[in-house]
Amino acid sequence: MAPMDDGLTAMQLMLGAPTLEAARAEASPEILPLLTETAYALVKRTAAEADHASDNSPEAWAAVFDELARRSRAASVALYSPGDEGRLQTATDEVVAWLRAQRLLGPDRLVLEIGCGIGRFLRALSPEVEAIVGLDVSGVMCAEARARTTGLDNVVVLQTPGRDLSMIDDASVDLVLAVDSYPYLVGAGLAEAHVKESARVLAPGGDLVIFNWSYVEQPTKQAEAFERAAQKAGLAPEHLGKHALRTWDGLAFTARRL
């Protein structure tokens, strides 16, 4: 695996330490500038909010993400930023470069993003694809995603109840992308159904790409669960939890509709 980015290291130190001083005591000199009081407060509050959701339903997650997005746009979608838009852009660019290298983008590709959050991928992918639709359960996230993609006429943002992809037609999409949204679907018991729905909306030859299946299961269990769901849905699994990136530790799960 490639060396971890400083933002990711800083996030992990702050999450694991009981105080900012304790985090700073463990940090190497190049990480220290990232361990500010603001970043520490943001990371701890964001993690606590996400941990203490009263239930795992899409409605409960919508409320949590509404609140997180009001607090910090960048940290609400990626704690490893931590709260820094520049670092978030670097992480976004790396995912886009990986998708490009996998030949999953192109001017004739129609893309669906499940859990688009603040729309960082909608904006970044807009010039690289024919059109992209972002779905999210959080109204605040959808509003921010629309604001970030104003003027991009190949981007559409839709608020979804989060239980299926019924807003999307059969065989109408070339790439279904989900970055850090499956952990919430797994929690809600909706992950397998969403893989099945992804198979329905994908055109033949289309791809499903998920970064992070679960935050709590071991990687081998995640790989088994994804492989089972993909095969059940008639998709051919390819990557089963690949460490693909340097800026964060997201695992890539991919499958193709043959």
Ligand X SMILES: C[S@@+](CC[C@H](N)C(=O)[O-])C[C@H]1O[C@@H](n2cnc3c(N)ncnc32)[C@H](O)[C@@H]1O
Q: Which residues bind ligand X (CB under 6 A)?
A: 58, 61-62, 65, 77, 114-117, 120, 135-138, 141, 160, 162, 179-181, 184-185
- Whichever of 27 and 110 has its CB closer to ligand X, that residue is 110
Least separation in angstroms between CB 32 and ligand X? 27
DSSP label at residue 189: T
Q: Answer yes or no: are the C-beta atoms of 186 and 226 closer than 8 Å.
A: no
- Whichever of 148 and 257 has its CB closer to ligand X, that residue is 148
In the block, tokens 């971890």 appear at 4
Least separation in angstroms between CB 86 and ligand X? 15
- Whichever of 10 and 137 has its CB closer to ligand X, that residue is 137
- Whichever of 27 and 43 has its CB closer to ligand X, that residue is 43
162 closest CA partner among 182, 145, 147: 182
Least separation in angstroms between CB 198 and ligand X? 12
Q: What length is written for the chain?
A: 258
Least separation in angstroms between CB 257 and ligand X? 21
Which amino acid, residue 211?
Answer: F
State which residue has the least CB distance to ligand X: 117
Per the DSSP assignment, residues forming a β-bridge with 133 are 112, 156
Q: Answer yes or no: are the C-beta atoms of 96 and 126 closer than 8 Å.
A: no
Q: Give the integer Cα–Cα distance in Å for 184 and 167.
A: 19
